[in-house]
Amino acid sequence: MGVLSQALLICRKDLKQELRTRESFTAAFFFALLLQVVFSFSFDFLDLGLDFTEVGAGIIWITLTFSAILSLQNSFLIEREKDCLQGLALCPADASSIYLGKFLANTLFILVVQAFILPISVVFFGYDLSAGAAPLALVVSVNTVGFSALGTLFSAMTARTRRSELLLPLLLFPAAMPLVIWGVKATRLCLAGRRLESYGYLVALSGCFDVIFVVAGILLFEYVVED
Amino acid sequence: MEKVFRRLELVLSPLVTVLLVVCLYRVFRVVPNEVTMGVVQRIFYFHVPSAWASFLAFFVVFGASVLYLATRKPIWDTLAHASAELGVLFCTIVLITGPIWARPIWGTWWTWEARLTTTLILYLVYVAYLVLRGQAENREQEARFASVLGIIGFLDVPIIYFSVRIWRGHHPIVFKTAGGQGLEPVMLTTFMLCMLTFTLLYALLLILRLRLGLLRNDLEQLREQEQALGV
């Protein structure tokens, strides 16, 4: 069996588990919803006369990355129960295919949450996304891939440490900072109604980040799961 | 190995002590005031060498991490740990001296400019690295996880710098005279001397910290043996 088909099997396993329990989605989605409420009070749009297109990019990215942390954390915490981690390590699959499978499943989970949260943010904050919907989806997906690539690697490590919940954000946020920076900047231009050409280079940079860290993840994952 | 470290230590400690005194003397008594910034510019004789030492330290973490994963010799892991601690130490100096300079010159303690922001993010990456080390379940796992993060962290350095640069403008070029003829020779020699001193200081501290780490490894091994024997 090739690496890719093994990866797809592992991804399918995670999807099946998620469909049956809906743990990851429920937590991430409602946390994201909660963040939107917090933001609506933190930035009083009506009273302060703030324009969502000016501060919205930051709100969107904090919501997306903070809720994504929950999905990523869950990805390997579920494997800790009943020693599934060991089972995974023992199964006749390459470490790289385990990584790829987990990475695919995580990316998918995060994207699904985002697909629900972004339209809701349009409702809550009343901005116009009709023209920018497709480019925004592109920006969000490209940045999510990199975030999930690093997050999957780190989550596999932190799930084995003593205080896993504590560590993942601490490791992931600084390392993934370039994605947040490019993501926020591209999103801001997108919300301002600029054409994709004017921020396409940011998406391309995030794409390069994705490639670098997916490859790094594939190469380094075997050192994470070997025990 | 132990002997080599001891000898290096014996050579380096007096050398670094003397050099540090010479540096202090030159920085405060010999070099002239910078034309536009005045006396506060002198902080750069320590600021820049610290920045250099911290980047060097993080590079050593990267190299030692790769070597550990390739060879699995504990000494590389101990070296990476020692260097990461020193990197964070020098980085702290950079982050403290920077704002002291910025306050009178830029009129603000902090600005989200490329190099400042990169240094801060890097600092956070390597602080996380040290926290991760403290949370591992056993030594071997700690070494592996830390190596992975040491590699990822260093890959991130140029990317983070590049990303913040796209976001915001540039760092000042601090060593320039008003006429634009470049650096005053006495300033340049002092600066170079400070760079050398800080590099040697880093090397000395690294050797001390590495030896401490190796002794700790030995002690742990002895304890394990003791337990195995049931003494």
* Interface with chain B: mutation pick from A150, A162, A170, A205, highest number of B CBs within 10 Å: A170
Report d(CA A204, CA A194) in Å as an integer. 17
Give, rounded to a whole angstrom, the gap between the first and last alpha carbons of chain B: 30
Confidence class of residue B173 from pLDDT cuts 50, 70 and 90? low
Average of per-residue pLDDT across A177-193? 90
From residue A141, how far is each of A70, A134, A155 by CA, in Å?
17, 11, 20
User: Residues 6 or more apart from B101 whose CB is under 8 A from it?
Assistant: B40, B41, B43, B44, B47
Q: Which two tokens stand for residue A128?
A: 């116009």
Rounded to two decimals, what is the model's pTM?
Answer: 0.88
SS3 at position B38: strand
Mean pLDDT, chain B, integer: 87
**Chain A interface mutation, best of B142, B159, B160, highest count of A Cβ atoms under 10 Å:** B159
Interatomic CA distance for residues B77 and B70, integer angstroms: 11
The 10 Å Cβ neighbour count of residue B118 is: 22
Closest partner CB to B145 (pick from A157, A170, A202): A157
Mean pLDDT rounded to a whole number for chain A: 89
The helix, strand and coil proportions of chain B, stated in percent and rounded to the nearest 5, come to: 85, 0, 15
Residue A209: closest CA among A179, A180, A187: A179
Residue B215 φ/ψ, nearest 5 degrees: -60, -40
Q: Which residues are paired to B34 by β-bridges? A: B38
Residue in the block written with tokens 């003829």: B181
Q: What is the distance in angstroms between the Cα of B137 and the nearest Cα belonging to chain A?
A: 6
- In this predicted structure, the answer to whether residue B200 has a pLDDT above a threshold of 50 is yes
Neighbouring residues of B144: CB distance < 8 A, sequence distance ≥ 6: A223, A224, A226, A227, B69
Q: Do B149 and A171 touch (CB under 8 A)?
A: yes
* Chain A residues bordering chain B (beta-carbon distance below 8 Å): 150, 153-154, 157-158, 160-163, 166-167, 170-171, 173-175, 177-178, 181-182, 185, 202, 205, 209, 212-213, 216, 220, 223-224, 226-227
Specify the 3-state DSSP secondary structure of B176.
coil
Comparing A52-56, B140-144, B169-173, the range with the smallest average pLDDT is B169-173
What pLDDT is recorded for position B170? 53
Is B179 a residue whose pLDDT tops 50? no
